Amino acid sequence: MSKCLSRKPFIVLLENRIRQIIYTMLVASCSLTIGMCLEWTWSTTNIEMYQTLRLKNLLFLGAITSAGPAAMVASLIGLKAVLIIGMLFTFCGSVIIMYSMSVLMVLYTGRILQGFGAGIVCVIVPNYAAEIADPKIRSLLTGFHYIHLLIGMIFSRVTSEFHNYSNMNMGIVAMVVVNLLVLLAVDDPPYYQMKFYEEWTSVYNLDYNLQIQDNCSTKLLNNNYYKIFESEDNHYLFLFFTQKRFRRPLLINVCLISIQQFCGHIFLTNKFQCLHGVLTISETIPNVTEILLLQLIASIICLYIVSVSEKTNLLIISGFGMAITLLLMNATYHIDIIDKDELWLPSLILFYIIFYSIGYGPIPWILMPEICPRSSRLWISGVTVSLYAFLSLVNNQSFYENIRLVYAMEIFTFLSVICAYFVYLFLPKIKDCVQT
């Protein structure tokens, strides 16, 4: 898997590049809506804080439930149809919340339905982008999912800071309606169109570019009429990996998403500050919106870098950068250099967030569909998204408060180094490789 080689030629269908970008932007708008749902908040006038936290967590519970079935259904009926179903779940949940009148059980129902939509979107959108993208811009387009998630979270945060909760709910409903209208103009990726909607013939008329890849030698076919390539195991157009090839991609995806959630959780460092009573990041940076903006800027820089370089290098830099930052914090704690009037700790935390955002923030989402063979790509994505939602649920509980600071710093410093080394050993180099 580390090389884009195959035992025999296979054909890959590619959209026009402009259409690739437009379609990806349209589909990724669904991720923006889900980002708004992720940072959704509710007025605490009639609802206790612990109930508000539970409302946030119910979205992750819904995502855990829906991600796996979404992957299986998408392999049977196509990506577009499942994405529409996901947005319908989100629409129903958002409307229920908007007219809930603060009735707790109604709010719970709405959040679970939004979670169903979130799980579906997080599985389908990265896979859709990877399916239609030219290898030269595949990482960039796949990363749009994470970028739009952050933008949606920022929108939600900005609205909640002005306590415009009703406007935020109406905004989510309006965005879902826009998403559903947009999806009407979007086609399924070419592979799924041919798999589900077209008749198989010996000669096929296509508007897309066809590429034949044989041992990394790519030739572009300019004629509109192409013969269907039929492999010995009766799979048309695409050469499938064997079933044995799913174990390594699954292991890599599970490890990367676990690293992302535990090493890169921005509230980890904030809780370290609170335990020591030093200047908190909220006093240095007014609110979480600025942190999300910093993540957004760093993630955009990351997408530019991965378009010209291997993702492995960036993950190694990200892992060691987080480890060094944590090591500096850890060493300072041990020698008791703590001054409440200094900004050294918030500065280290900002560097920590930057190192996280240029690597382990967006790249696991980019790699999720890229490193998997087609025969197992969707269900591995479903497992990965379910794990992401489960770990997010754990992170929102009292995980970090139940471990002592000295052990936490050492554990996460060591874990960041192990992560970088894991990437160096096991992550395949897939830049510009044509997917099978």
* 120 has a pLDDT exceeding 90: yes
3-state secondary structure of 221: strand
% of the chain surpassing 90 pLDDT: 15
Give residue 410's Cα distance to chain centre.
Answer: 28
How much is the pTM?
0.78
The per-residue pLDDT for 433 is 59
CA angle 326, 309, 267 (to 5 degrees): 25
| Position 2 pLDDT exceeds 50 | no
Give the pLDDT score at 51: 63
For residue 225, the cross-strand partners are 205
Q: Of 122, 113, 150, 119, which is closest to residue 35 (Cα–Cα)?
A: 150
Distance between CA atoms of 115 and 131, rounded to whole angstroms?
A: 25
pLDDT of residue 119: 93
Question: In this predicted model, what pLDDT tens digit does every residue of 76-93 receive, in sequence order?
Answer: 888 999 999 999 999 999
Mind listing the pLDDT tens digit for each residue in 249-264?
A: 888 888 888 878 776 5
Structure tokens at 18: 């402009």
What's the Cα-to-Cα distance from 208 to each of 13, 59, 134, 204, 226, rounded to whole Å?
7, 39, 12, 11, 11
Residue at token pair 């300019």: 222
| Rg of the chain in Å (alpha carbons) | 23
Specify the domain boundaries for CATH 1.20.1250.20 within the chain.
Answer: 10-192, 245-426
Q: Please give the pLDDT value at position 9.
A: 37
**pLDDT single digits (tens) 319-366:** 888 888 878 877 766 665 555 446 676 677 788 888 888 888 888 898
Measured in degrees and rounded to the nearest 5, phi and psi for residue 398 equal -95, 35
Within 8 A by CB and 6+ apart from 299, the residues are: 143, 146, 147, 150, 357, 358, 361, 362
Helices (H), 264-334: 266-276, 281-284, 288-306, 311-334
| Whether the Cβ atoms of residue 142 and residue 366 lie closer than 8 Å to each other | yes
Give the pLDDT score at 270: 52
CATH 1.10.287.130 for domain 245-426: no
Is 315:360 a contact under the CB 8 Å cutoff? yes
Cα-to-chain-centroid distance, residue 196: 27
The owner of tokens 């529409």 is 84
Number of C-beta neighbours around residue 8 at 10 A: 10
Query: Which residues, 6 or more positions from 199, have their beta carbon under 8 angstroms from its beta carbon?
Result: none
CA-closest candidate to residue 311, choices 368, 351, 254: 368
CATH number of 10-192: 1.20.1250.20
